[in-house]
Homo-oligomer: A and B are copies of this chain.
């Protein structure tokens, strides 16, 4: 089907009503693509269901008609997973919105997939809990998208990825079958745990409609420090020592290499709490119920780090404003990017023990292509996740971009890393997937896709071909 047939549109309209089947491209422009910047086109229609039953009927219809479906949430993805390519409907979950239940005794919250992350965070806080997922797009992204991309963010070291925060799911399969797996228990070994098929598979195996989330105890503040270190070995020693002494409560362990720190404190406009002459900087955060009582052990860790020579300089936040100042440094990426456009933005992970070497090799790889390029390294080192910005690519030269990507992903491959730590594959990283997955893994992924979506209607062309 390359043009929307009138009967097909009528059937969609019969399900969701005429206001929620948008076929005029001038009215559907915001649904063409996501934040990835991947080029999208007009969908056959934007369809906006209100209930699980709607989603089920839409998928059953599309399955029967062999019509491709691109599921869409808040459209904040960075890999093009929600971009419309070719003849497909865009299925927006935005109207499946709101909290269904907050079960305080069980510490769970059940929500519709289209609920924005920030709404969930706020509802959890009101009830005396923390919903631990947090990322920059919190105001726009939707939990269904977070689940489908297994979103990461700033607190993974303490609370895990989105996968670790999901207890249950309701999912609609390609043929419209509804899987009701709204489990609330930490322990449930009644056969296969099917929800993991749908978490992180970017809408290619099913469409998430409801999510049961795990809530954590509320935190009331943080102990925060910015620490300068001599080398990467000092970084891993500090990480292990801090985790040991603080019983695993470290909630962020963000590392900035000198190249990033210098630019953040000049071009990026951030204040430099400590001088910019050190090889490495760690932003360490310990969120807790009682930051006053955790202050002493937190500072004892820093003292030990000085005594051992791991820390060369440090600043401890004395106020919430100080802590925010430190975090502005880490979040300066948005200010920096325009100055180096066009950039390549890598989202790589390595085993933690390989990060020091990995960063060195990535830098060499970039400079082997063009020694004048600027590199900026920073990342969630506690999770093995490094972000690398490279730019400006002269005249946006695609051949050079490709060459740099190839060399960097070869480094990831050689050190058993991943080409995508948290952003996912979508369209953007599809050409490089084989650098992180073996032929046997790719074959099994295709087997699963064929078994769950035999007519290939769910987000076709995404993740792999």
Number of interface residues of A (CB under 8 A): 98
Contact call A452/B447, Cβ cutoff below 8 A: yes
| Chain A 367-408 interface 0/1 with B at a Cβ cutoff of 8 Å (1 = within) | 000000000000010111100000000000000000000000
Name the one of B161, B187, B448 contacting A418, with C-beta atoms under 8 angstroms.
Answer: B187
- Tell whether A104 pairs with B350 under 8 Å between CB atoms, given A190-B419, A191-B464, A416-B182: no
Contact call B425/A185, Cβ cutoff below 8 A: no
A420 within 8 A of B: yes
Binding site for B on A (CB under 8 A): 103-108, 128, 149-150, 152, 156-157, 160-161, 163-164, 173, 177-194, 196-197, 199-201, 205, 216-219, 236, 240, 243-249, 288-290, 293-294, 297, 349-354, 380, 382-385, 416-425, 429, 433, 436-438, 440-441, 443-445, 447-448, 450-452, 463-464
User: A181's closest neighbor in chain B, by CB?
Assistant: B441
Question: Which of the listed residues A157, A180, A187, A219 has the most CB atoms from chain B within 10 Å of its own CB?
Answer: A187
- 16 CB < 8 A contacts A-B: A104-B353, A106-B351, A106-B352, A106-B384, A161-B187, A181-B441, A184-B416, A186-B382, A189-B424, A190-B437, A197-B197, A216-B248, A217-B247, A290-B297, A293-B297, A447-B451
User: A379's closest neighbor in chain B, by CB?
Assistant: B187
- Tell whether A440 pairs with B180 under 8 Å between CB atoms, given A103-B353, A108-B351, A247-B289: yes
Residues in chain B near residue A438, CB distance under 8 A: 179-180
Residues in chain B near residue A288, CB distance under 8 A: 247
Copies of this chain per assembly: 2
- Tell whether A421 pairs with B187 under 8 Å between CB atoms, given A106-B351, A440-B180: yes
Contact call A193/B244, Cβ cutoff below 8 A: no
Kindly provide the distance from the CB of A210 to the nearest chain B CB, expressed in whole angstroms.
13
Contact call A423/B189, Cβ cutoff below 8 A: yes
- Tell whether A353 pairs with B105 under 8 Å between CB atoms, given A244-B289, A444-B179: yes
